[in-house]
Structure 1
Amino acid sequence: MDWIREHLTETWLAIAVMLGVAEMFSLDLVLAMLAAGALAGVATSLVTDLVAVQAAVALVVAVGMLAVVRPGLARRLHKGPELRLGHGKLVGTQGTVTETVSTLTPGRVRLQGEIWTAQPFDETLSIEAGETVEVFEIRGATAFVHPVPRLET
């Protein structure tokens, strides 16, 4: 214990390095913020020999980093393009009706080069062949579609 008190700068630095290495395995940014607090402890140990002051500075910096820096940094690092896979990628796309689509008699639509069984999203509609539709939902192997409004000229 006396060695730690005599080598506080090295102790704080060792703590910071260990937290930094552990952060490389966790990738959660929590340990990195604690390592920043330990580095603040290193800086404080160069100014004063009071352990309580060093610990207080390290604690304040670590909590401040966790509360202020980490949320924005984590949001920025974890933000990326939304990946839509499988049938979900068809939702929002447009296609062409190849066979009349109604609630009583499901029809067919061409979506991105594939023919899909389709029903109208609005059960009161009947959509004729040749109409352009937008996919609102996919349930199983059936696309639920709604006609795309046309501008009359």
Structure 2
Amino acid sequence: MDVLSTIDTFAWIFWLLLILVFLVIEMLTVELTFLMLALGGIVGLVADLGGAPLWLQVIIAATAAIALVVFLRPRMLQRLQRSADTRPSNVEALLGLEGEVLMTVSRVAGQVKLANGDVWTARCDGDTRLHPGAHIEVARIDGATAVVRARGQETTS
């Protein structure tokens, strides 16, 4: 038995190994490119099981993989990103959040309780003073201090 017929006989093993390698890489990267290549490998395996010659199997698998990467992958990525949580988090979630002054807030110090239940050290820009019970909203966060303003007041920064 010559080398080419041996390769042709055991090509299905090559396809299975290639599919397995692509799937492992996809699990590590999660970018869907290697998933498309693995699907192209499955098409090549089906062509082998259908009796196609090796050169045709490679062409069919490559064509299928390229078509999947170009046409299916962008749609899948778009669908995955569409279902992502778009709510603001961390500091962005605090901006504009309303609250109430607990201790007088000046340009140096103060304390507020936000609508989410968090108690923050706070300060105001300028010479404004906010007294306990005043309703405020968060203008920005400076480190661990909330810079607040009276609710409905615009900032100039």
CA distance in 1, matches of 2:29, 2:111: 49
Determine the structure 1 residue equivalent to 2:53: 49
Determine the structure 1 residue equivalent to 2:76: 73
Cα RMSD of the aligned pairs, angstroms, is 3.2
Matched, 1:31 2:52: no
Matched, 1:138 2:148: no
How many correspondences in the alignment?
A: 144
Map residues 94-133 of structure 1 onto 2, 5 A cutoff: 94-99=98-103, 101=105, 103=107, 106-111=109-114, 112-120=117-125, 123=126, 126=128, 128-129=130-131, 130-133=133-136
Are 1:108 and 1:116, in contact at CA under 8 Å, matched by a contact in 2?
yes
Q: What secondary structure does 2:44 align onto?
A: helix
Determine the structure 2 residue equivalent to 1:90: 94
Determine the structure 2 residue equivalent to 1:62: 65
Are 1:107 and 1:117, in contact at CA under 8 Å, matched by a contact in 2?
yes
CA distance in 2, matches of 1:76, 1:13: 29
Are 1:116 and 1:141, in contact at CA under 8 Å, matched by a contact in 2?
yes
Instruction: Mark the CA change 1:115 to 1:22 in structure 2 (over 3 Å): closer, same or farther.
Output: closer
TM-score (norm 1): 0.69
Question: 1:49, CA displacement in angstroms?
Answer: 1.9
Are 1:88 and 1:138, in contact at CA under 8 Å, matched by a contact in 2?
no
Question: 1:126, CA displacement in angstroms?
Answer: 3.0
Identify unmatched segments of 5+ residues in structure 2: none
Are 2:112 and 2:122, in contact at CA under 8 Å, matched by a contact in 1?
yes
Percent identity of the aligned residues?
27
Question: 1:115, CA displacement in angstroms?
Answer: 4.4
